Amino acid sequence: MPLFDLTPKDSRRTLFGRDAELETLVRLIREGRWSVILGPRMVGKTSLAKAAAHQSKESTVYVNLWGVRGTSGLLGALVNGLNSNPPLLRRIREGLRRVTGVSIAGSGISMAPAPRPMNSTADLVRVIGDEAHRSVIILDEVQELATVSGPFLKVLGQVFNTHPGVVFVLTGSYFGILRTLLAPSADSPLYGRPPARIQLEPFDRETSLGFLRRGTQEYGLPIHRPLLESVVDRSLDGTPGWLTLFGNHLTVGRMSVDAAERATLDEGRKVARSELSHFLDSRDRDSYWQVLRVVAGGASWAEVKSALAARRGGHVNDNSLGNVLRSLRAAELISETGHRYTIRDPMVRSYVRDTSRPPR
């Protein structure tokens, strides 16, 4: 797979600049420990999870939870994941007959009417644990399960206690389910043994340039370093997803550096828009948007507060501002360094700066 391929990477060979994180995650998987990968959008969470599972040589079920709703959505996503691993399906075939809500269909499985999809999900995971020696289950974008977090956490707790061969690798944002998992309270089944936490950061400048150099070399397309430096500094920063998209336009799309930069910004802002709209769906759109607009230019707490007070023509409650800033941080939409809040992702920043009303 070329470096500028737009799908998530799935092997050590194609994963760039993540040697330490990869080594850590492979070790954790081999030790049977659960992990959580955190990081902003497009930073390479899915790629790291897939590459590490592959490198560990354990049987893997990749479950994509993006857009999944409720317990039957979760069951459906797990069924899809299993269908992508035929050797594992063959091994657990007999056990599958015991699971209500799942039926065997040809060489794969399908969802049958399930009276209690969360029970079927738990049974399915138990069958994987019973019949396969060790398996990795990647749950990608766990925050999507927010509406069913209670029962879902209970299932995880049970599996943790009864099926040590099943190793979960979870990705998502640090709120709701993942926060409960990483900082379990005394009454949680995972209390005292939370999963390991792997935080992925964007590449630094040198790694970003190295990434672009290697990708362009794969296509025999040497590009003047200062040209790449200016695009990285001006538009892309170190987010691997944006670097990949830019590189793909440059090589596969045969665009000039300028055109590739413009196309990446256009697409990046569209992705930012849909991410923000998804995030704001369940929140007080206008309050969050006002905070984002102020933070887009970089601001301290006091500056955010006074800008909001000016906009709203009144008093701003510290608690509610604190909550908004905390959940924006947990979603990795904003970051705080040296008491200043900023929007780190260049595409989100650019979209918020240029847009006066919150996306719907």
Ligand X SMILES: Nc1ncnc2c1ncn2[C@@H]1O[C@H](COP(=O)(O)OP(=O)(O)OP(=O)(O)O)[C@@H](O)[C@H]1O
How near is the Cβ of 242 to ligand X at its closest, in Å? 8
Give me the half-sphere count of Cα atoms (radius 13 Å) on the Cβ side of residue 192. 4
How near is the Cβ of 241 to ligand X at its closest, in Å? 3
Tokens 């409720």, residue?
70
- Interaction partner, residue 47 (Mg ion, ligand X, none; CB < 5-8 Å by kind): ligand X
- Interaction partner, residue 174 (Mg ion, ligand X, none; CB < 5-8 Å by kind): none
Q: Which is nearer to Mg ion, 45 or 54 (CB)?
A: 45
Q: Which residue is nearest to ligand X (CB)?
A: 44
In the complex, which residues of this chain contact ligand X (CB under 6 A)? Answer: 3, 5-6, 8-9, 15-18, 39, 41-47, 240-241, 244
In the complex, which residues of this chain contact Mg ion (CB under 5 A)? Answer: 45-46
Q: Which is nearer to Mg ion, 45 or 349 (CB)?
A: 45
Instruction: Characterize 241-279 residue by residue with b for buried, 16 or more Cβ atoms within 10 angstroms of its Cβ, and e for exposed.
Output: bbbbbbbbbbbeeebebeebbebbbeebbebbbebbeeb
- Interaction partner, residue 102 (ligand X, Mg ion, none; CB < 5-8 Å by kind): none
Q: Which is nearer to Mg ion, 9 or 45 (CB)?
A: 45
How near is the Cβ of 45 to ligand X at its closest, in Å? 4
- Residue pair 316/308 in contact (Cβ under 8 Å)? The answer is yes
The β-bridge partners of 139 are 63, 170
Cα–Cα distance for residue pair 79/74, rounded to 1 Å: 9
How near is the Cβ of 351 to Mg ion at its closest, in Å? 19
How near is the Cβ of 223 to ligand X at its closest, in Å? 18
Strand ranges, E, within the chain: 35-38, 59-64, 102-105, 108-111, 135-140, 166-172, 196-199, 299-300, 334-337, 340-343
Instruction: Characterize 56-68 residue by residue with b for buried, 16 or more Cβ atoms within 10 angstroms of its Cβ, and e for exposed.
Output: bebbbbbbbbeeb
Q: Which is nearer to ligand X, 7 or 230 (CB)?
A: 7
- Interaction partner, residue 1 (Mg ion, ligand X, none; CB < 5-8 Å by kind): none
- Interaction partner, residue 122 (ligand X, Mg ion, none; CB < 5-8 Å by kind): none
How near is the Cβ of 8 to ligand X at its closest, in Å? 4
Q: Which is nearer to ligand X, 22 or 29 (CB)?
A: 22
Helix/strand/coil for 334: strand
